Structure 1
Amino acid sequence: MQLPAARFDRSQILVVGDVMLDRYWHGDTSRISPEAPVPVVRVDETDDRAGGAGNVALNIAALGAGASLISVVGADEAAEVLRGQLAAADIRTDFQVAEGKPTITKLRVMSRHQQLLRMDFEQPFGAGDAAQLPSKVEAMLSSVGVLVLSDYAKGTLADCQALIRLARARRVPVLVDPKGTDFSRYRGATLLTPNLHELEAVVGACPSEQILVDKASALMAELDLQALLVTRGEQGMTLLRPGMGELHLPARAREVFDVTGAGDTVIATLSASIAAGYSLAEATGLANLAASLVVGKLGTATISGPELRRAVVAEQGVERGVVSAEQLSLILAEARAQGEKIVFTNGCFDIIHAGHVGYLEQARTLGDRLVVAINSDESVQRLKGPSRPINPVDRRMAVLAGLEAVDWVVSFGEDTPENLLRELRPDVLVKGGDYNETEVVGWEIVKEYNGDVAVLRFYDDCSTTGIIKSIQTRGER
């Protein structure tokens, strides 16, 4: 599957669900308490993290999409910590306060990377605690592209149906990370993302692919779902849609360090992708790739937008070499994110000679990455006459891509590279030959955004035309 560019800057997602504070106390332990046979931990470090639906929202924000979060919390210090952490990630929050109940908090005591104790501070939220959620959701639906329901069975989503009906009335897709064995609560949702164990707890054992497909299809029909995405650990994930063949994507992770939070990464990537206008199949491909990245990290982690886009580029095998204009635009965005300076040059490059090689090596020294744009065959004919080019565009690109100084080669069909310059906005535009700066095609485009223009002379006084004339002269002897 050809993965899309993974650009989410225009995506807006609303997350509703159980938010919690994951609190960690770290310290060394070297003795047993004299009061009871338990280790004594000298706490020297504390760490607070937004968990549950909060972690889903953080994953969405890390991808570069806009995230809002609606949930239920207590009137306590834990709620203030959550508000501060989420606001720092530019996540808009609207919390209903449940009087007399604590914000769900899980305190873990850690020593030498081992969990010694976990203490949970929580009381189940009832319908009254979440009574204002439908009105809060309704007020925000017009400004979002996807509604995510993140269910941890703590009571925030006691009335899923009210939220699903509101979203369907506005034609906003509803993605659900389900919990428990009663999936009827999610009737009418667009997509559910259970793992295989959660699905089997609802539909029964699925010992074969065909049984899995049959039972999942029956469940989708019963619950009026548009799709099921079943995550299957080391077996990857399977997307099922009514009336369509299943799409199975194998696991991509080479090393798995920690699966904590992988489900949050999957639904975050799915929602950001769908809100960006990608198809469900494309969204699933991106979610599968994001999951492979997050399980390679320790602890609850997020995947950034640039990190995912770099993985997409690597997946397409275009770290260097011949690329399309669309691929190049994506690649350069990531190169800039790494602080790299982009150099751009263009030409026909019909017969590559020593002058070209020396010129390109010198051009590369002006920055970190060198892009070479070459005229298509039709463009060369218009510029040089019907007898040119000598070498077709695919061969010219292959030779250039093999040079050490060149990072990427792209072709263009117009007589000039001006459209490419407007799209790619390189830091330095380079031309070889006897020119003044203002004679270089596209110089004014580059100068307009404060880029640089450089003119370099060809080495060894070589030229393609001279080589052709020399060959012709020798042939006439």
Structure 2
Amino acid sequence: MHLSTPRYDSARVLVIGDVMLDRYWHGGTSRISPEAPVPVVKVSQTDDRAGGAGNVALNLAALGASASLISVVGQDEAADVLAGQLRAAGVSTQFQVSSAKPTITKLRVMSRHQQLLRMDFEELFTQADCSEHQKKLQQQIGDVNVVVLSDYAKGSLGDCQALIATARKANVPVLVDPKGTDFTRYAGATLLTPNLHEFEAVVGACNSEQELVDKANQLMTTLNLEALLVTRGEQGMTLLRKAQPELHLPARAREVFDVTGAGDTVIAVLSASIAAGYSLPESVGMANLAAGMVVGKLGTATISGPELRLAVQAEQGVERGVVSQEQLQTALQEARSKGEKIVFTNGCFDIIHAGHVGYLQSARELGDRLIVAVNSDESVSRLKGPSRPINPVDRRMAVLAGLEAVDWVVSFADDTPENLLRALQPEVLVKGGDYTEEQVVGAPIVRAYGGDVKVLQFLDDCSTTGIVEKILAQSD
């Protein structure tokens, strides 16, 4: 999928849902309280951020889209802070004020980038608290391209069906970030974006890719949805549409620092891209890229238009990352439909060194796409001994996925990749080291279906075992 940044300044998105104030108190900890066995935090910095539906609206504004927000707040200082932040960012706010209930506030005490405590100040809103939402939506529906319902189960979306009906009557798509186990309240929406945990809480556990697809299709039929986007953390995202094959996008390989607000970024970029005229698959691709960026930031955060444009340029239209074996087979079908040549290599890759990097670059030059299959931790222990691996498989895969030469990284639990080779049938099998082509494990399998086998050399004096032995020698 080729990605390019939409003209977000043409997008007009209305967000309706639960708005909250995310408060962060930061400070150092150097002692335990004499009053109780808890750390004492000397607060040196405070930070207030709009959360929930407010964070969705801020993400839209940061992209350059026109963002409006309908929600409920209390008659208090937190509401004033929220309103000031949102308006300063260019978000048009329409708050219904409850005199009896507080603005939803979440206070987090932080020290050394770790969350020590969270305190929630909230009372659930009722239908009476959000009685003006329908009227406000009717007043604005002619001026927006997309409506987003951001549900955090705090009561601000008392009558979803009326809101959905109003938008759909005006032919405006409705995207829902759902909550809870009763998805019937979202029936008739254009698209739902549950995470995997939320999805399985409604349809039951999914033990395979096919089971996930089957249950998603059934849910779309039951709720009369046009599409369903299941966000799956380290396994990426899966888009399901009526009468069309599923589309899976691998997770972007980067360090996960904080997932707070990642769902807000996903639905913001998704809705803004659709509002700017992009197709649903293209919009999901943009949302997937943005999600990989926002988890590298602390707390509720936004992705700006310039940041996203730079990320798109860096991607150069290439989908890459850590995938499951089933997901990889789906990706290979698309790659082969474009005539791309698949190169495969495998190994433990316990400590990535210069030899690996040079070898993988050479392997990539033998085709259009490079798969790196990595031995599981148990497999490495059987092959190398009980002291290995040094790094667990998820970290080894993350490092490999970050290399420019590597397209997909997949793990396997067997001692050899033979079963994986039979399933994937790459055009070229590559191995590094002092082997002959006849000694390469899996070579007969690849040659049997007409593939090629190549042996490449590592750089001199580069060896994982040698590096480990050198470290041990210096530590004695």
TM-score by length of 1: 0.65
Rounded to whole Å, the distance in 1 between the matches of 2:112 and 2:278 is 44
- Aligned residue identity for 1:192: L
- Aligned residue identity for 2:83: R
**Secondary structure of 1:238's match?**
strand
The number of residue pairs the alignment matches comes to 318
Contact kept, 8 Å, 1:71 with 1:96, in 2: the verdict is yes
Kindly report the root-mean-square deviation, in angstroms, between the aligned alpha carbons of the 2 structures. Answer: 1.4
Q: Name the residue aligned to 1:56.
A: 56
Contact kept, 8 Å, 2:146 with 2:271, in 1: the verdict is yes
1:200-239 equivalent positions in 2, closer than 5 A: 200-239=200-239
**Secondary structure of 1:101's match?**
coil
Q: Name the residue aligned to 2:126.
A: 126
Spell out, residue by residue over 1:168-194, the C-alpha distance to the aligned partner (whole angstroms, 9 max, x if none). 111110000000000001000000001
Give the direction of change, closer, same or farther, for the CA distance of 1:317–1:195 in structure 2 (3 Å limit).
closer
| Cα drift, residue 300 of structure 1 | 2.5
Q: Name the residue aligned to 1:102.
A: 102
Gaps of 5+ in 1: 319-477
Contact kept, 8 Å, 1:253 with 1:296, in 2: the verdict is no
Spell out, residue by residue over 1:51-99, the C-alpha distance to the aligned partner (whole angstroms, 9 max, x if none). 0000011111111111011100000000000000001100010000111
Identity among equivalent positions (%) equals 75
Contact kept, 8 Å, 2:62 with 2:305, in 1: the verdict is yes
Contact kept, 8 Å, 2:73 with 2:96, in 1: the verdict is yes
Q: Name the residue aligned to 1:249.
A: 249
Rounded to whole Å, the distance in 2 between the matches of 1:208 and 1:62 is 37
| Cα drift, residue 291 of structure 1 | 1.2
Contact kept, 8 Å, 1:249 with 1:288, in 2: the verdict is yes
- Aligned residue identity for 1:223: L
Contact kept, 8 Å, 1:6 with 1:308, in 2: the verdict is no
Q: Name the residue aligned to 2:46.
A: 46
**Secondary structure of 1:157's match?**
coil
Contact kept, 8 Å, 1:15 with 1:148, in 2: the verdict is yes
Give the direction of change, closer, same or farther, for the CA distance of 1:317–1:221 in structure 2 (3 Å limit).
closer
Rounded to whole Å, the distance in 2 between the matches of 1:13 and 1:74 is 24
Structure of larger gyration radius: 1
- Aligned residue identity for 1:143: D
**Secondary structure of 1:129's match?**
helix
Q: Name the residue aligned to 1:87.
A: 87
Spell out, residue by residue over 1:417-454, the C-alpha distance to the aligned partner (whole angstroms, 9 max, x if none). xxxxxxxxxxxxxxxxxxxxxxxxxxxxxxxxxxxxxx
Contact kept, 8 Å, 2:15 with 2:57, in 1: the verdict is yes
Rounded to whole Å, the distance in 1 between the matches of 2:116 and 2:292 is 29
Rounded to whole Å, the distance in 2 between the matches of 1:180 and 1:195 is 11
| Cα drift, residue 256 of structure 1 | 2.5
Gaps of 5+ in 2: 319-476
Give the direction of change, closer, same or farther, for the CA distance of 1:22–1:5 in structure 2 (3 Å limit).
closer
Contact kept, 8 Å, 2:265 with 2:290, in 1: the verdict is yes
1:318-357 equivalent positions in 2, closer than 5 A: none
TM-score by length of 2: 0.65
- Aligned residue identity for 2:280: L
Spell out, residue by residue over 1:257-310, the C-alpha distance to the aligned partner (whole angstroms, 9 max, x if none). 222221111100110001001111111111111112222333322111111112
Q: Name the residue aligned to 1:308.
A: 308
| Cα drift, residue 235 of structure 1 | 1.1
- Aligned residue identity for 1:160: C
Contact kept, 8 Å, 1:253 with 1:295, in 2: the verdict is no
Give the direction of change, closer, same or farther, for the CA distance of 1:293–1:113 in structure 2 (3 Å limit).
closer
Contact kept, 8 Å, 1:270 with 1:286, in 2: the verdict is yes
- Aligned residue identity for 2:305: G
1:155-234 equivalent positions in 2, closer than 5 A: 155-234=155-234
| Cα drift, residue 115 of structure 1 | 2.2
Contact kept, 8 Å, 1:236 with 1:248, in 2: the verdict is yes
Rounded to whole Å, the distance in 1 between the matches of 2:56 and 2:48 is 16
Give the direction of change, closer, same or farther, for the CA distance of 1:298–1:33 in structure 2 (3 Å limit).
closer
| Cα drift, residue 35 of structure 1 | 3.6
Rounded to whole Å, the distance in 2 between the matches of 1:33 and 1:89 is 40
Contact kept, 8 Å, 1:7 with 1:305, in 2: the verdict is no
Q: Name the residue aligned to 2:76.
A: 76
Spell out, residue by residue over 1:397-429, the C-alpha distance to the aligned partner (whole angstroms, 9 max, x if none). xxxxxxxxxxxxxxxxxxxxxxxxxxxxxxxxx
Q: Name the residue aligned to 1:366.
A: none
- Aligned residue identity for 2:7: R
- Aligned residue identity for 1:21: L
The reply to whether residue 14 of structure 1 matches residue 14 of structure 2 is: yes
